[in-house]
Amino acid sequence: MIEKIHILGAAGSGTTTLGRTLAVQLGYQHFDTDHYFWLPTKPPFQVKRDVQDRQQFLAKDLDSADRWILSGSLCGWGDIFIPKFELVVYLWIPKDLRMERLLKREIQRYGAAAVKANGKRHAAANAFLEWAAGYDEGGLNMRSKMLHEQWLAALPCKVLRLEGDLSVEERAAAIHTCTNVP
């Protein structure tokens, strides 16, 4: 039985949602890379945690759990964890759908007034959305499909690709089938 699963993809592809869902279904611990990458701030996602600190923080949590799911991207800073992965799941959805989800998430997180033109989060939201929009065409110097494809090709474990606009239930079912977990 596979007990250590990493789920990655572009921002807005559903890695965290799928990770949380699977963790509940399987009784696994769920960890998300954003929790390790960013220092806690208000608003969130403002200050990056030092690489060595995030590695130590994540290592402590992964080592404390027998069965876990790690969602989010850690390419580059978290490569030391590759030997722990038994299965890596790559999620990809069309750019227009991702961007629609991300805009909705920004509005839910900060409020429509803050995100709209002249709002206090407008510039930050636009910068984030512009960064996320570059995923499919971006190079190796950023979180991009190209970077993820290169990273996936070098993994020693099984890789499951779930591409397209699949529901969380469809994605979870595919993972259950692939891993022989109930």
pLDDT given for residue 182 in this prediction: 59
For every residue of 8-55, which 3-state class applies, written as one string?
EECCCCCHHHHHHHHHHHHCCEEEEHHHHHECCCCCCCCCECCHHHHH
In a domain, 118, yes or no: no
Residue at 32 is within a domain: yes
For 13-27, what is each residue's pLDDT tens digit? Answer: 999 999 999 999 999
Percent of residues, the chain, with pLDDT higher than 90: 94
CATH label of the domain that carries residue 36: 3.40.50.300
Q: Tell me whether residue 163 is in a domain.
A: yes
Whether pLDDT at 181 is above 70: no
Looking at 60-64, 100-104, 178-182, which range is the least confident one?
Answer: 178-182
Please report whether residue 152 resides in a domain: yes
Would you state the pLDDT for residue 178? 82
Give tens-digit pLDDT for 3-56: 999 999 999 999 999 999 999 999 999 999 999 999 999 989 999 999 999 999
Q: Is residue 134 part of a domain?
A: no
Does a structural domain hold residue 175? Answer: yes
Residue 136 lies in a domain: no
Whether pLDDT at 58 is above 80: yes
Does some domain include residue 59? yes
Q: Is the pLDDT of residue 179 over 90?
A: no
- Look up the pTM and report it: 0.94
pLDDT digits (tens, 9 = 90+) for 134-173: 999 999 999 999 999 999 999 999 999 999 999 999 999 9
Who's near 133: CB < 8 A, 6+ residues apart? 95, 99
For the chain, what is the domain count? 1
Helices 15-26, 168-179: inter-axial angle, 10-degree rounding: 60
Structural domain of 76 = 4-94+144-179
Q: Are 46 and 6 in contact (CB under 8 A)?
A: no
